Amino acid sequence: MISGKELALVVSLINFCFGLCRFHELSEFDDSKRSCRRRLAGHNERRRKSSAEGNLDGRIQMSDSGATAVNSILDVLKLYPPTVD
């Protein structure tokens, strides 16, 4: 059976990672962060990856509503093709 002092020692050496929902040693955390370095590294990698993929050819990303508006304008312009004189 674990004594109260032993339990207090173990608890003081670990922290709960909210990102992975498990306990890790304190050395796996930076300062007062709530997620361990591994979880934060994965998060940052996914964020960088999606940012790089979203800006292909230097294009600006737009929301769904912005894309819908642009498509509507293009549909109207197709109804009135330019005339050649």
pLDDT digits over 19-51, tens only? 778 888 888 888 888 888 888 888 899 888 887
What's the pLDDT score for residue 63? 60
Residue 65 lies in a domain: no
Residue 82 lies in a domain: no
Residue 83 lies in a domain: no
Residue 14 lies in a domain: yes
What's the pLDDT score for residue 8? 76
Write out the residue range of the structural domain in which residue 28 sits: 10-55
Q: In the predicted model, is pLDDT for residue 61 greater than 70?
A: no
Number of domains in the chain: 1
Q: pTM of this prediction?
A: 0.44
The rounded distance, in Å, linking the Cα atoms of 12 and 35 is 17
Q: C-alpha angle with apex 8: 4 to 13, nearest 5 degrees?
A: 155
Residue 17 lies in a domain: yes
First to last CA, the chain: 95
The rounded distance, in Å, linking the Cα atoms of 27 and 58 is 40
What's the pLDDT score for residue 64? 64
The rounded distance, in Å, linking the Cα atoms of 27 and 17 is 12
Residue 70 lies in a domain: no
Residue 16 lies in a domain: yes
Residue 72 lies in a domain: no
